[in-house]
Amino acid sequence: MPTWVLGVVVGFALAAIPMAAVLAQDVRPAPFTVVETGRGYPTLQQAVDAIGDRQATIEIAEGNWRQCAVQSAGTITYRAATPGKSLLGGTACEGKALLVLRGRAARVEGLILADVNVPDGNGAGIRLEQGTLNVSQAWFRDSQQGILTGNDTASEMMIDKSTFTRLGTCENAAGCAHSIYAGDYGRVVVTRSRFEQGRGGHYVKSRAARTVVENSSFDDSHGHGTNYMIDLPNGGSGAIRGNWFVQGADKENWGTFIAIGAENAQYSSDGLVIEGNDARLVPGLSRKPAFIGDWTGDKLAIGRNTLGPGLKPFEAR
């Protein structure tokens, strides 16, 4: 075959390749996919808006995404494609958080939420303004707050198998921020989770009518300027059971591990169960904090707890 004929044949063959196929070689999958429809979106907010008032799951691709979103309706699950490999961080919607939630309900599964700092000192991984929230296998780190909620006595927040690292601050005019700060919610439940290396404030502060913290660890050995491990400023019922606490040396307030009703006994703490916990100081530290500090005078259900040297079991305030 003459050379010029071969060239024409090759040219026609290349021209026959669909342009879409050529372009597709350079197109990456969209990072935010609504699982139920299979449609991907370039931003998290677009995926949230596409769900609207319905119920759906957004799968977040592996990678670090400087993205945030406001959910104003519906029931949405925010799920990492691979747990621990999808990070949202470094920005805040409405000057509040990576996820601002005020729909019916939300779930967060397998995500890392990090590096949120805003001028008022309340930058959070999640700002829960209303509705029910379930969190599992998430890591909150290096922000002013991990989770901050408003008031919604008809809803509950449940956190399981999650880690809270280098959170909290008392360096802003708005007051202290905390690893978890729950407002007046119907119920707050924290299970099988870890709190560590706090940077101010409390590890768990809950104004809820009922608070349950079970089978979790509070490692304050590398904390800086921290306060209580658990603070129930409004009192309330529930259980603090099966947890492990270590208090470090660098404390703003070391006098109490667990504080009950320190601000306002809005709810009765009668029957609040505190048992099966292990609490101690870091090695070489000499002080005498109270494991439980109670401002309420209510009938707490204090069972057996294992306390290290120097700790007083209970102190009425």
Q: What is the pLDDT of residue 45?
A: 99
Q: Give the pLDDT mean for 220-230.
A: 98
Q: Over 50: is that where the pLDDT of 16 sits? A: no
Q: What is the pLDDT of residues 237-264, one digit of tens each?
A: 999 999 999 999 999 999 999 999 999 8
Q: What is the pLDDT of residues 48-59, one digit of tens each?
A: 999 999 999 999
Q: What is the pLDDT of residue 106?
A: 99
Q: What is the pLDDT of residue 253?
A: 94
Q: Give the pLDDT mean for 184-209.
A: 98
Q: Over 60: is that where the pLDDT of 132 sits? A: yes
Q: Over 90: is that where the pLDDT of 22 sits? A: no
DSSP states along the chain: --HHHHHHHHHHHHHTS-HHHHHHTTPPPPSEEETTTTEEESSHHHHHHHHTTSEEEEEE-SEEE---EEE-SSEEEEEESSTTSEEEES--BTTTEEEEE-SSEEEEESEEEE----TTS--EEEEE-SSEEEEES-EEESSSEEEEE--EEEEEEEEES-EEES--B--STT--B-SEEE-SEEEEEEES-EEES--SB-SEEE--SEEEEES-EEE-TT-SSB--SEEETTB-EEEEES-EEEE-S-BS--SEEEEESSS---B--TT-EEES-EEEEPTT-----EEEEESS----EE---EE-TT-EEEEE-
Q: What is the pLDDT of residue 6?
A: 43
Contact 115, 91 (CB under 8 A): no
Binned at pLDDT 50, 70 and 90, residue 28 comes out as: low
Q: What is the pLDDT of residue 5?
A: 45
Q: Over 50: is that where the pLDDT of 7 sits? A: no
Q: Over 90: is that where the pLDDT of 183 sits? A: yes
Q: What is the pLDDT of residues 76-100, one digit of tens each?
A: 999 999 999 999 999 999 999 999 9
Residue 261's nearest CA partner among 233, 287, 281 is 233
Q: Over 50: is that where the pLDDT of 134 sits? A: yes
Q: What is the pLDDT of residues 266-317, one digit of tens each?
A: 999 999 999 999 999 999 999 999 999 999 999 999 999 999 999 999 999 9
Provide the number of structural domains found in the chain.
1
Q: Give the pLDDT mean for 175-180.
A: 96
Q: What is the pLDDT of residue 17?
A: 43
Sheet containing 194-196: order of strands: 63-65, 86-89, 111-114, 139-141, 163-165, 194-196, 217-219, 244-247, 278-281, 306-307
Q: Give the pLDDT mean for 181-208.
A: 98
Question: What's the CATH code of the domain at 39?
Answer: 2.160.20
How many of the other CB atoms lie within 10 Å of CB of 26? 6
Full residue range of the structural domain in which residue 312 is found: 3-316
Q: What is the pLDDT of residue 193?
A: 99
Binned at pLDDT 50, 70 and 90, residue 173 comes out as: confident
Average pLDDT, the chain: 93
